[in-house]
A and B are shown apart, each in its own frame.
Chain A
């Protein structure tokens, strides 16, 4: 079954024969990508429903008997963890990473197809373990997605008996799955590129995905370490993180552990995790913008270097999540400085996206709308990040709705918009049919306007000092009546936004059979995945011969050439003028 994915070989590939080999225990990267995608979107829908339940409680307190404080905390925790790890990380890297890396780099498959299959099934197992916690006594953990000890494993936090154990176990399995996948993605990108595909000819999507994978491989061990040590604290009573405690008048066995140590380990993973989600989005959105604006990406090299620089810097900013945990002033100074430095490469990327659009022949297709929408939400979320990166500004804003608004804009809405854009963009390659444009545009506008109506007002609530994670706000004096009305409005917007995603699901399902046939390159794109002999690509991707690459990925509207795009596998023509920037 295993075969060399690197070079052309004489013997024919062993195609999977039975249904099970083809769709269940599949080793084909495209099938695995779709398995990852469907699982991630499925579990993401659970998280979406949870956020709807949270908004019901926040907008209309005490109206719904099935939401009590415990279940509210469980909803928050599961919503956060699922969205960040099991949806975004898995869909970008497991889904699009698996689909795009071999196709964009001109290989037949990942270099280790068997390990790739194991990676998906381990991920699937981690999702099952996570979802199982809804069905155990006392339900899932309600410790918050950061799982801070000591509260995470003390009585009083929901799900302290079973939920937290399943959560930690599920994370450990996820990390194993991710490591198997990640080794595959990077080795494939390093070793198996087709002829002529130099590093700097790779599309930015691939750059984003593999840089994020490197971050993941180096950051997830920190989560594994903290998960293992917390599991031991919970199960056999060690005191890695647990200080001496009196709980309900009873002195516990724990002694001397350091909760702050957990926070450092957690955020040493947690901050790169933001970029594990963001870098693939950066890469993919660059390709969407360039393709649909019919212009080469502005400043390709800068874009690559910025991705790498942001990835590197993301490892030295973690403690900006911990300003309120107490730290030496110089420490805070250091982390505030590094945090603000990240704004430089990030701003370069934003300028380059905008300059790519400048005087482009913009086609306002659905993927393009989502890509442009991303620029807005990302600038918005990025700027509030500068507020929070400063220690003195962060202290009053910490743990308010301002933070909720910030990170949802920057790592919730923005990557999700890119994911939608990417799905509309590559769906024709995966299925051979286009998704409906009219429905797509409705979906975009409702999502975009909806996201702003949800998160923009939250900034104001944060300025008022409204604390995040509270089940009910009570009658605090600093909160005017109008804050509650605003909360109700946000809830209406959020629920509308959530329900509107049904348009997308309907579109994706109906277009499978009824969509307009796409042809092999509906967007007239240059990158290799659109040049496959079959659409959707067959097992082995390239028919008899691997492609040979003769140019970079962004030859759009080349002067002297009639067609406004030149695929990467087309040799240089004589009329072509070189030296464009």
Chain B
């Protein structure tokens, strides 16, 4: 696909088109054979990746300054990490099931994936309470502030995903056929994998510093 893109960029459009292009014109196959929503999601993941990368860069730059006091991360984070990975796995199973048209598995794993995600968010919120209880306030130290900030931004992205998830689940309960919700489930799965990876990145940054 990328090769084709670069080949197109070397076209000389002022010359009569090559046969290949004429054939494409006749079949109408110029655009990429991917649903627009998937292209848009991939673009959005690029944007979100840049966002999280910039937060990480800011984290590492700020960390070098004198007043940084590393944070003792709550042990609950390990459990949360396991939960979000499980939610990602559940959605992956849902994706494969919907491709086979297996309605019962889809129904179970899709619901499970969302509930695990909610559990993850609750768990993240509990770590906030734990840290505040131990006196780690956001204004106290940049390490604390970054902890709240990174988990909040990541959580907000998951909440956005949950909106789409909820709409998909609603359609499923209203009796939508698997092929009707297939694209939504596939896109949710991609998004969840991405956010699970982002969380692993954030988690690694937190525990390694």
Given contacts A112-B40, A198-B30, contact A581 B14 (CB under 8 A): yes
Given contacts A198-B21, A217-B47, contact A255 B67 (CB under 8 A): yes
| Interface segment out of the listed B48-56, B86-94, B126-134, B182-190 | B48-56
* A224–B138 CA distance with the chains assembled, in angstroms: 19
* A240–B51 CA distance with the chains assembled, in angstroms: 16
Residue B163 lies at the interface, judged by CB distance under 8 Å to chain A: no
| Interface segment out of the listed A75-83, A348-356, A548-556 | A548-556
* A218–B13 CA distance with the chains assembled, in angstroms: 29
Q: Judge whether B149 and A193 touch: CB under 8 Å.
A: no
* A572–B67 CA distance with the chains assembled, in angstroms: 71
| Interface segment out of the listed B58-66, B73-81, B102-110, B168-176 | B58-66
The proximity string for A residues 548-581 relative to B, scoring 1 for CB distances below 8 Å and 0 otherwise, is 1111101000000000000000001000001111
Residue B16 lies at the interface, judged by CB distance under 8 Å to chain A: yes
* A191–B37 CA distance with the chains assembled, in angstroms: 10
Q: Judge whether A6 and B14 touch: CB under 8 Å.
A: no
Q: Judge whether A256 and B67 touch: CB under 8 Å.
A: yes
**With a CB–CB cut-off of 8 A, which chain B residues contact A578?**
14-16
Number of A-B residue pairs having CB atoms within 8 Å of each other in the complex: 144
**With a CB–CB cut-off of 8 A, which chain B residues contact A222?**
50, 54
Q: Judge whether A229 and B149 touch: CB under 8 Å.
A: yes
Q: Judge whether A218 and B8 touch: CB under 8 Å.
A: no
A201, A296, A548: residue with the most chain B Cβ atoms closer than 10 Å: A201
Cβ distance A545 to chain B, nearest Cβ, rounded Å: 12
Residue A183 lies at the interface, judged by CB distance under 8 Å to chain B: yes
**With a CB–CB cut-off of 8 A, which chain A residues contact B25?**
195-196, 548-550
* A191–B34 CA distance with the chains assembled, in angstroms: 8
**With a CB–CB cut-off of 8 A, which chain B residues contact A99?**
none
Q: Judge whether A238 and B8 touch: CB under 8 Å.
A: no
Q: Judge whether B13 and A552 touch: CB under 8 Å.
A: yes
Q: Judge whether B67 and A187 touch: CB under 8 Å.
A: no
Q: Judge whether A196 and B50 touch: CB under 8 Å.
A: no
B27's nearest neighbour on chain A, judged by CB, is: A195
* A564–B76 CA distance with the chains assembled, in angstroms: 73
Given contacts A112-B36, A225-B54, A238-B138, contact A196 B9 (CB under 8 A): no
B48's nearest neighbour on chain A, judged by CB, is: A221
The proximity string for A residues 344-386 relative to B, scoring 1 for CB distances below 8 Å and 0 otherwise, is 0000000000000000000000000000000000000000000
One of B10, B46, B55, B142 near A257 (C-beta < 8 A): B142
Q: Judge whether B47 and A218 touch: CB under 8 Å.
A: yes
Q: Judge whether B16 and A572 touch: CB under 8 Å.
A: yes
**With a CB–CB cut-off of 8 A, which chain B residues contact A224?**
51
Cβ distance A107 to chain B, nearest Cβ, rounded Å: 10
Residue A305 lies at the interface, judged by CB distance under 8 Å to chain B: yes
Give the B-binding residues of A (Cβ under 8 A): 6-7, 111-112, 179, 183-184, 186-188, 190-193, 195-201, 217-218, 221-222, 224-225, 228-229, 232, 236-240, 253, 255-258, 261, 264-265, 268, 296, 300-301, 304-305, 548-552, 554, 572, 578-581
- Could you list 5 examples of A-B contacts with CB < 8 Å? A188-B36, A190-B39, A191-B31, A238-B142, A548-B25
Taking A191-B39, A199-B8 as given, write out 11 further A-B residue pairs in contact, using a Cβ cutoff of 8 Å, ordered by the A residue number. A186-B43, A190-B39, A196-B25, A198-B13, A218-B46, A218-B50, A239-B67, A240-B58, A257-B142, A268-B54, A578-B14
